[in-house]
Structure 1
Amino acid sequence: MNMSRTRPTIADLRAMKGKRQLTMLRVMTIEEAEAAEQAGIDIVSIPPDLLLDPRYRDAAPSLFSMPGDNFYEIGTADDFLRWAFKMYKASADAVYCSASYATIKRMADEAIPVIGHVGLIPSRRTWTGGWKAVGKTAESALEILAAVRHLEAAGAFGAEIEVVPVEVAAAISERTSLFMISMGAGRGCDAQYLFAEDVLGQNRGHMPRHSKVYRNFAAEFDRLQAERVAAFGEFVADVERKAFPEDRHVVHMDLAQLRAFMDRIEKQ
């Protein structure tokens, strides 16, 4: 446990807006959360089930933790409110929501800190042309600004801004009270956000342009899988040639007890 840090509050993050950039990762496991804690990451996005794991806060006591899921996985505004209360009770510092402004307002009205989403929203990408940058024209950039204003009015605390031109993201961040989290939107925002699987090189498919790979876990996973196959094969070979089990792998019966046992079963 890192005892040198305390978990930031909403007030802390608001006070840091425009002063320094924070770091944020999407982590999926206890091990990744613990690594983020030890590495000094500020914010994590996590699956709801991870937050509910009783080991989570022991592993990540000072991480500002934001559970989130696609809006269609959670449901209506009432479903979101019940879900948000459950998350807040389980030590969430904020919740992610890409649902309607009305849904965000329902949670914000109950003092639940909510992070919205503007720009490329994966769950709504059909409206903006698929997996591509959003806000490259003046008109579409103004639409992103309008979305930010709607989030402000709904009571959101912040917003992820994804794959938006750096000039647009910086201009919007300067003109909003929202805490702006950049995913591929440049350094003009308040935090830089990457997925742990990309940072670690676990992603075998398309690598997003905005991501950066720092390790090659995919190669390590391949090596470990080859080692699994080899180890299992050696076990098969040992059994077939009667090299396993050896005497050290089994338990023997006391000789007197064995004789008594054999006498009885022979009489039967």
Structure 2
Amino acid sequence: MKKWQLLTAACAVLLLAVVGGPAAAAENRGHVPDTVKRALEPDGAVHRHVLDLNQRTTSGSRKTGTPLAQAQAEAAATTFGSPVRYAYLQLAEDGGSGDALTEADLGDAAPFYLSVEYVNSRPTSTVQVTETGEFAALGGFLPEEVTALAAVAPGSVILTDGRFEELYSASPDLTTVRALNPSATALVGGGDVAVSELRRIKARQWSEYVAALPVDVPEDAVGASVSNVGRGGSGGAWLPGVGIALLGAALVAASAFLLGRSSRSRQV
């Protein structure tokens, strides 16, 4: 090999080391820890826990009338798909900026991972797993959403905007998203959507939402009126607004009782 060829090859190697090749340019945000994968294996802690939950009723007692052989057959027929990262989509009110989603766009919640549960090769539910491989939640998605999640490619990132009941899958480098349920499809349409376009659409969505609010809504209540709680399974969060409403109803009922009692006392 001639000297000029050696020099050219050396420059090319140096350029790749400094700038990075195509694989280095796209960061994989859909990485799944081995602890999560092991937890979903047949002898994994989460796998065994879900099988146990499936054999229990809502009261917590083990199902009756199910032959042992049938229970064992159901357990043997239960498998889990490749887990994917699961995060909340929490863009800034103006949609933010950038051609790719950042960790700031995904909120500050601890990493979770989602896997589709299959029974006899049919997608039936989902399970959420923590980064350390512990069980987090079971279910939380509609049947048609479970079917859509089962078709998501390994390495993708599942995103949910609980404020507007939207569900998306994002590419591993978080540069494109795809709608997975009717709410998301109504907003961004079908097919892959660039994140830069998603930012613009979500900014317009939020602006239209705020514009439609009653004029007497306090400014600090705008963000609280649409909570981004995401999708949860068993053990969902209690909504503060519901608790306030029930407390108010209880106070009204108590007042009515006391007023009626006072009126009867005067009549006697």
TM-score grouping bracket, smaller chain normalisation = under 0.3
Which structure is higher in RCO with an 8 Å CA cutoff and minimum separation 6? 2
